[in-house]
Amino acid sequence: GGEVDVRGVYCVLVVASLLNIMTAELVSGVAEFVARCQTCEGGLGPYPGVEAHGGYTLCALAALEIIGSTHVLDLKRLARWMSARQMAFEGGFSGRTNKLVDGCYSYWVGGAFSILQRALSRTPQDDLLYERRALQRYVLACCQDTRIGGLRDKPGKSADLYHTMYGLLGLSLAQHYVGVDPQTRISDTTSVYSVPARMMQWDVVSSAADVVGVSSNVVKPVHPVYGVSLVPLAKCIKYFYALPPLAPSL
């Protein structure tokens, strides 16, 4: 009676990849299922046949990045759908076609752009496929609740922890270019799907930073797949991958 969609896929692969418990059985059929979730618009829904949505798109794309299978998607169609989510006037993202802007999609869509950048083998010189400064202006000028603090969906709404978290994640990824050199080769074959090598290749390209406003606006860089700071993530991966693996490598 539980839900069966790409959110569950993403959560399972995040936990398994961090704790060094990835197995071939666990990921069997994952790429094929996620590919069927891509809609005629180009984005991804929770399961096959359902409308594309920004949150499910991030979960789906991040899950495929963990197992190195983003190639199963029509990436150009996905890029077109994602680019249409940024509102020309507000600068923030909507989560679905014909919907209003919402601060939480600063991460759900903005973070997906960082993963798409790698999937398309784009470089920092190409920059991300959205207007980073426009998104920062929306988060900083429209999402901050000056009355109680925190971040909100949009002006007129109250701040809450959910929108604060995802607003800050989106702000971070708009300020910092966090990516992977397309020329970098995966060399770690000691674990299933080379997870530690794949995830720890992500790094900040300081020359590609683009911060709106004063220096106090800057937040720490985060990993777009996991939504956490890079240093604690690296420590977690190094700790668990130093332990005996649950299963032999593929």
The residues that are catalytic are 53, 96, 99, 102, 104-105, 153, 160, 163
Contacts of 11 (CB under 8 A, 6+ apart): none
- Beta-bridge partners for 38: 44
Q: Which among 39, 174, 176, 203 has a CA at the least distance from the CA of 103?
A: 174
> What is d(CA 195, CA 236) in angstroms, rounded to the nearest whole number?
13
Q: How far is CA 55 from CA 7, 43, 60, 94, 138, in A?
A: 9, 10, 9, 10, 19
Looking at this protein, which amino acid is placed at residue 54?
Answer: G
> What is d(CA 20, CA 14) in angstroms, rounded to the nearest whole number?
10
> What is d(CA 173, CA 205) in angstroms, rounded to the nearest whole number?
11
